[in-house]
């Protein structure tokens, strides 16, 4: 790892400088993570008096539990849907803004601010819109003969959280797609236009391939977002219901552990999620090294 | 623009207007709801034009004492403090650790870097129970310390400063040393002023991050005195099923989301810089 050509002579000072960060990291990140790993291999008796080592029991149980497997599938569906919808819309909007010269910034401002809306608030907003007694969308859906009820219908509940989570993420994706589009050399576009390629052909054969680093980066970030940052969206709208239909993996860790106090199983679930984030982070960072290629 | 195609320009504007409508729609509905009296919202069709009750609703939110929630101003105060402490804390500890990692060579330096890096892989969501246990054992439940300190470690901010320090010419530091400046003087008189824009951009991002925290305050506070706005509006909305007062709830929601939204709108350049740089 690089450092400066010349450095200050070090005695105690550098240790003092990194100490606050490291102390917090060890106490609040590494130690609890270690505890999660440890208690995922242990069983505690109901009174918390003694613990015994049970090996992989919690993990084996998890993978036989239909609830957990259903939650894995549900989380995958949720993550894919949110990633595709929010990235798709964001890309279309970014391409449109990138075509404009003057009006672009005004549109950008209008599209960027939802980033500052927190997941909980996004959940509440969409919950209000989809609310079966006063909401505006169920009222409109009735004309199509659809009886909207996310409190009873699991599919409706899933659509609700997908819409709310995607809505909140559009701004973020838009910003990065726009930055990516602006770094595509204009000369390539012009050369293709002279050769007779129309705007759509230029987009698919030149711009979109050149955007692939941004697209890949955003895919990783969005998966991370839907897996972990959507806790607020779910808690404010469906709270995992109805009948587990929106109980994603992260929400399940919370309900099983913090509310249900099933420590062993919750820890095993935490560890599985941890492995997942580690994989995502490694992919992201290996790739970021090579990101600056254009 | 390569060529002039009027229909495509028309399509561009059409797409963007649709996009803006989608993005603005939920907040518009919330704003409209917050301007009506309680009866307008419970009678089937929701009105789509603003009413005249905004002021009354705002006053009601600010003065009314609801069951199970702290007064609005207290929650706003808690959110503000939480966001500020997290912002200042993250920047302070990140800038000094990046300084140590870039400008010193000491045993354990690489280890320190990796320990900081690991925090990226351990979001609160995957270690809910054990982190809660640590905070409880330290007696930090229901306190500002418990709300903020566990969130202060920051790999992204440290990386941002490290990246930035690497771009500062080595000669700067050599010249400072020749002139007799020690490490602390160099940091204070040269690095800090040079980092000004980076610090400002980070402030914007981190303030929004701190303001939006939800899961963590939910875990570590049981005393309404320490509730934050995000928890408060969620609790208010949760009871709305039984006793729909959507007009005041939406007024509270709008007020709760206003500060970070205004920051993004008015500090857009810093916001964009902060967001793009921290992700590198």
Q: Which of A25, A26, A134 has its CB closest to that of B41?
A: A134
Distance between CA atoms of residues A259 and A253, nearest Å: 9
Judged by CB atoms closer than 8 Å, whether chains meet at B19 and A89 is answered as yes
Chain A residues touching residue B101 (CB < 8 angstroms): 3, 18
A&B contacts, CB < 8 Å: 308
The CA R_g of chain A, rounded to the nearest whole Å, is 24
Cα dihedral value B173, B179, B185, B189, nearest 10: -70
Judged by CB atoms closer than 8 Å, whether chains meet at B123 and A111 is answered as no
Residue of A39, A42, A120, A231 to mutate, testing the B interface (most B Cβ within 10 Å of its Cβ): A120
Q: Which of B100, B173, B264 has its CB closest to that of A112?
A: B264
Q: Do the domain assignments include residue B43? A: no
Q: Does B134 touch chain A (CB under 8 A)?
A: yes
Looking at residues B222-233, what average pLDDT do you find? 87
Taking the mean position of all CA atoms in its chain, how far away is CA B149? 15
Q: Do the domain assignments include residue B267? A: yes
Lowest mean pLDDT among A186-195, B3-12, B259-268: B3-12
Q: Do the domain assignments include residue B153? A: yes
pLDDT at B112 over 80: yes
- Count the domains in chain B: 1
CA distance B143 to chain A (A): 16
Q: Do the domain assignments include residue B83? A: yes
CB-CB contact of A86 with A226 (8 Å): no
CB-CB contact of B240 with B161 (8 Å): no
pLDDT at A289 over 70: no
Distance between CA atoms of residues A84 and B175, nearest Å: 52
CA distance A130 to chain B (A): 10
Note the pLDDT tens digit of each residue in A179-234. Answer: 889 888 888 888 888 888 888 888 898 889 888 888 888 998 899 888 888 888 99
Closest residue of chain A to B97, computed from CA coordinates: A18
Judged by CB atoms closer than 8 Å, whether chains meet at B30 and A128 is answered as yes
CB-CB contact of B253 with B232 (8 Å): no
Three-state SS annotation for A153-174: CHHHHHHHHHHHHHHHHHHHHH
Q: What pLDDT shows up at residue B45?
A: 64
Phi, psi of B104 (to 5 degrees): -135, 155
Q: What is the CATH number of the domain that holds B160?
A: 1.10.3720.10
Q: How far is CA A222 from CA A80, A84, A119, A246, B254, in A?
A: 9, 9, 14, 18, 26
Judged by CB atoms closer than 8 Å, whether chains meet at A126 and B127 is answered as no
Q: How many CB atoms lie within 10 A of CB B268?
A: 16
Note the pLDDT tens digit of each residue in B183-200. Answer: 899 999 999 999 999 999
Note the pLDDT tens digit of each residue in B83-94. Answer: 999 999 999 999
Closest residue of chain B to A135, computed from CA coordinates: B46
Closest residue of chain A to B154, computed from CA coordinates: A21
Q: Does B135 touch chain A (CB under 8 A)?
A: yes
Looking at residues B195-216, what average pLDDT do you find? 91
Calculate what percentage of chain B has a pLDDT beyond 70: 92
The half-sphere exposure of A210 on its side-chain side, counting CA atoms within 13 A, is 17
Q: Does A283 touch chain B (CB under 8 A)?
A: no
CATH code, A57-289: 1.10.3720.10
Mean pLDDT of chain B: 86
pLDDT at B142 over 80: yes
Please give the residue range of the domain that contains residue B178.
Answer: 70-243+257-278
Residue spans per domain, chain A: 57-289
pLDDT-based confidence at residue B241 (cuts at 50, 70, 90)? low
Q: Do the domain assignments include residue B158? A: yes
Q: Does B15 touch chain A (CB under 8 A)?
A: yes
pLDDT-based confidence at residue A27 (cuts at 50, 70, 90)? very high
Cα dihedral value A220, A221, A222, A224, nearest 10: 90
Enter the DSSP assignment of A242. Answer: S
């Amino acid at each position: 790892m690089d450092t400066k050509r010349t450095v200050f002579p070090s005695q105690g000072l550098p240790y003092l400088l990194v100490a606050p960060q490291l102390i917090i990291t060890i106490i609040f990140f590494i130690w609890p993570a270690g505890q999660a790993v440890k208690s995922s291999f242990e069983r505690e008796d109901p009174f918390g008096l003694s613990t015994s080592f049970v090996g992989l029991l919690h993990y084996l149980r998890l993978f036989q539990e239909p609830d957990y497997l259903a939650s894995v599938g549900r989380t995958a569906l949720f993550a894919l849907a949110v990633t595709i919808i929010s990235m798709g819309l964001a890309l279309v909007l970014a391409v449109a803004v990138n075509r404009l010269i003057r009006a672009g910034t005004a549109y950008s401002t209008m599209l960027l601010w939802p980033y500052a809306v927190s997941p909980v608030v996004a959940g509440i907003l969409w919950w209000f819109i989809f609310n079966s007694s006063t909401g505006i969308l169920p009222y409109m859906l009735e004309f199509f003969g659809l009886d909207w009820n996310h409190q009873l219908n699991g599919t409706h509940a899933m659509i609700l959280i997908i819409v709310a989570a995607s809505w909140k993420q559009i701004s973020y994706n838009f910003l990065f797609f726009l930055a990516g589009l602006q770094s595509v050399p204009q000369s390539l576009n012009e050369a293709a236009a002279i050769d007779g390629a129309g705007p759509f052909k230029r987009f698919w054969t030149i711009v979109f391939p050149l955007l692939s680093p941004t697209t890949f980066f955003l895919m990783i970030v969005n998966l991370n977002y839907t897996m972990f940052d959507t806790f607020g969206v779910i808690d404010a709208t469906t709270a995992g219901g109805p009948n587990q239909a929106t109980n994603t993996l992260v929400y399940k860790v919370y309900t099983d552990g913090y509310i249900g106090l099933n420590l062993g199983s919750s820890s095993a679930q935490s560890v599985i999620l941890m492995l997942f984030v580690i994989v995502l982070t490694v992919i992201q960072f290996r790739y970021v090294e090579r990101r600056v290629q254009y | 623009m390569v060529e002039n195609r009027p229909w495509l320009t028309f399509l561009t504007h059409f797409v963007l207007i649709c996009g803006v409508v989608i993005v603005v729609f939920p907040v518009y509905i919330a704003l409209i709801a917050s301007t009506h009296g309680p009866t307008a919202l419970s009678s089937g069709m929701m009105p789509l034009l603003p009413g005249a009750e905004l002021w009354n609703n705002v006053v009601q939110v600010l003065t009314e004492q609801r069951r199970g929630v702290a007064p609005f101003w207290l929650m706003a105060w808690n959110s503000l403090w939480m966001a500020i402490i997290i912002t200042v804390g993250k920047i302070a500890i990140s800038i000094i650790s990046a300084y140590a990692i870039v400008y010193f060579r000491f045993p354990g330096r690489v280890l320190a870097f990796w320990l900081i890096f690991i925090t990226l892989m351990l979001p609160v969501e995957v270690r809910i129970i054990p982190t809660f246990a640590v905070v409880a054992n330290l007696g930090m439940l229901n306190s500002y310390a418990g709300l903020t300190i566990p969130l202060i470690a920051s790999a992204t901010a440290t990386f941002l400063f490290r990246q930035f320090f690497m771009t500062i010419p080595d000669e700067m530091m050599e010249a400072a040393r020749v002139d007799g400046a020690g490490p602390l003087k160099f940091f204070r008189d040269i690095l800090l002023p040079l980092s000004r824009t980076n610090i400002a951009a980070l402030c914007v991002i981190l303030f929004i991050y701190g303001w939006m925290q939800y899961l963590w305050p939910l875990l570590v506070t049981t005393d309404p005195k320490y509730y934050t706005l995000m928890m408060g509006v969620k609790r208010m909305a949760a009871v709305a099923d039984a006793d729909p007062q959507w007009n005041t709830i939406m007024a509270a929601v709008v007020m709760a989301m206003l500060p970070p939204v205004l920051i993004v709108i008015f500090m857009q350049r810093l916001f964009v810089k902060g967001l793009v740089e921290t992700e590198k």
